[in-house]
Amino acid sequence: MPSNYDAELDAMGLACPLPVLRIRKALAVLSENQILYVIATDPGSLKDIQAFSRITKNELLEAYETEGKYHFIIRKRVSTN
């Protein structure tokens, strides 16, 4: 498990679209450039979170699977407003 993150989200046991919805909510309270660590068990979360990051412009720093658990490290994007 990574240690350099600002917040952690446990999305284990949640099925699509709940992991992405919880990530959106968790990122909303973080400041720009802060890091969110997510762990999920839904195999579809890999594809869903990659798409979410691309669409929202949040940076997916890492995405990997170990022993049926999917780990994601996401950096909150910097606003361009």
The answer to whether residue 59 is domain-embedded is yes
The answer to the question of residue 32 being in a domain is no
Averaged pLDDT for residues 56-64: 96
Q: Which two tokens stand for residue 46?
A: 């890999």
Which two three-digit tokens encode residue 48? 């869903």
What's the CA gap between 26 and 24, in Å, rounded? 6
Asked if the structure places residue 67 within a domain, the reply is yes
Q: 31, 55, 53: which is closest to 7 by C-alpha?
A: 31
- Owning domain of residue 56: 40-81
1-46 residue pLDDT tens: 556 899 999 999 999 899 999 999 999 999 999 999 999 999 999 9
Which residues are part of the catalytic machinery?
Answer: 16
Count of domains for the chain = 1
pTM above threshold 0.85:
yes
Helix (H) or strand (E) holding 75: strand 69-75
* 18 domain-assigned: no
Q: Is residue 15 part of a domain?
A: no
Radius of gyration of the chain from its Cα atoms, rounded to whole angstroms: 12
**pLDDT band (50, 70, 90) for residue 78:** confident
